[in-house]
Structure 1
């Protein structure tokens, strides 16, 4: 079978060399104004958010579902293990101060990216990662019991499930053509469902990361 792969590689190489005009010229591509078109259709300056939550919303919907299944898998696979006897954490004061300072900065960035991700670089996934980073930095400096109590007190598991269900509902409305008013370009409440989808994704990723961190701390004693 190797000779088939060799012939296919040679054919593909000859195609790129002998038929270069099949590629759209850069001049024609710039005239299409793809970025401007996406921005106008989505109603948000951040065209990446417009693509993720409008043009490719179907893919984004299943990305959220896959992340949810991954978090459920972590909990399921580690549920039969014995809790760790020792939890590895920072104990020196300078490391604790720096980690919590970093957690505060990451949390503020997470809120900013979630609320304004459709207006500037950022978005729901980046906001969720920043929020998960903040929680991870707190986890390596705080008692695991306190972090678990906080998780239970705020009913984070329930909030995570609600955020997923709301995201699926809003995504379904958008895919069916039920859209909010676009609003004024550059305004906070613009882009239809996009700002709300950003916030829901940020909540889902951050809280899901929190749950996974707690599981790894409990059963592995480390992150």
Structure 2
């Protein structure tokens, strides 16, 4: 089997040496401009995700939701861990919470400006989930669970999914909000709203998974 890997690596190396590098076709750049014009946002990737390939994005959100449900289902029969491992030394706590502050600010920036610059709802949700994870490894699990329940995070997660699906269905039918001025914060029709909804969904879903792992495994 090792020789098979070596031969595959050599074949890939020969392919890189023999085959020429693809040349950039300047005419292809017109497609990017067409996406920007159709979506009304400078970030062509956001236009593709939330407009041209909105079907794919819908199912990505659904798959993420099913993954969260799967984690809860698979660990539901296990006994909660008696000991939760977390950072207790002050330098680690300070650094983790500083990182959480930075990650949360980045999350907000990516969510509200993801249609204008590189970023978007999924990246914003990952940054938000990272911030929550950094807080979780330096705080009491009961305190984290109490905040999760007090702010009804599970309910808001479900609401964000439902609103996203409704807005996506309306968009796919053919109804769109005015695009506004290209490059403005309030522009791109429904795309900025979908960005924020996805960010909320991913961040709150990550929070739920973190709490489940802490409860049943004692660590992240």
Give the structure 1 partner of residue 33 of structure 2.
36
Give the structure 1 partner of residue 123 of structure 2.
126
Q: In the aligned structure 2, how far is the partner of 1:204 from the partner of 1:177? A: 24
- Give the drift of 1:189: 1.2
Alignment of 1:2-151 (within 5 A): 26-27=24-25, 29-30=26-27, 33-151=30-148
Please list the CA deviations of residues 198-223 of structure 1 after superposition, one character each: whole Å capped at 9, or x if unmatched.
Answer: 00000000000000000000000000
Give the paired residue count.
Answer: 201
Give the structure 2 partner of residue 205 of structure 1.
202
Q: TM-score, normalised by structure 2?
A: 0.88
Please list the CA deviations of residues 152-176 of structure 1 after superposition, one character each: whole Å capped at 9, or x if unmatched.
Answer: 0000000000000000000001100
Q: TM-score, normalised by structure 1?
A: 0.87
What SS does the corresponding residue of 1:69 show, helix, strand or coil?
helix
Give the structure 1 partner of residue 10 of structure 2.
none
Q: In the aligned structure 2, how far is the partner of 1:162 from the partner of 1:114? A: 17
- Give the drift of 1:182: 0.6
Q: In the aligned structure 2, how far is the partner of 1:98 from the partner of 1:191? A: 37
Please list the CA deviations of residues 115-160 of structure 1 after superposition, one character each: whole Å capped at 9, or x if unmatched.
Answer: 0000111000000000000000000000000000000000000000
- Give the drift of 1:109: 0.4
Q: In the aligned structure 2, how far is the partner of 1:211 from the partner of 1:155? A: 11
What SS does the corresponding residue of 1:33 show, helix, strand or coil?
helix
Give the structure 2 partner of residue 13 of structure 1.
none
Is 33-42 or 94-103 further displaced after alignment?
A: 33-42
What SS does the corresponding residue of 2:139 show, helix, strand or coil?
coil
Q: In the aligned structure 2, how far is the partner of 1:71 from the partner of 1:78? A: 11
Give the structure 2 partner of residue 186 of structure 1.
183
Q: In the aligned structure 2, how far is the partner of 1:32 from the partner of 1:157? A: 43
Flag structure 1 segments of 5+ consecutive residues without an equivalent.
1-16
Q: In the aligned structure 1, how far is the partner of 2:72 from the partner of 2:186? A: 37
Please list the CA deviations of residues 35-71 of structure 1 after superposition, one character each: whole Å capped at 9, or x if unmatched.
Answer: 1111111000011100100110000000000000000
Q: CA RMSD in A?
A: 1.5
Q: In the aligned structure 2, how far is the partner of 1:150 from the partner of 1:104? A: 17
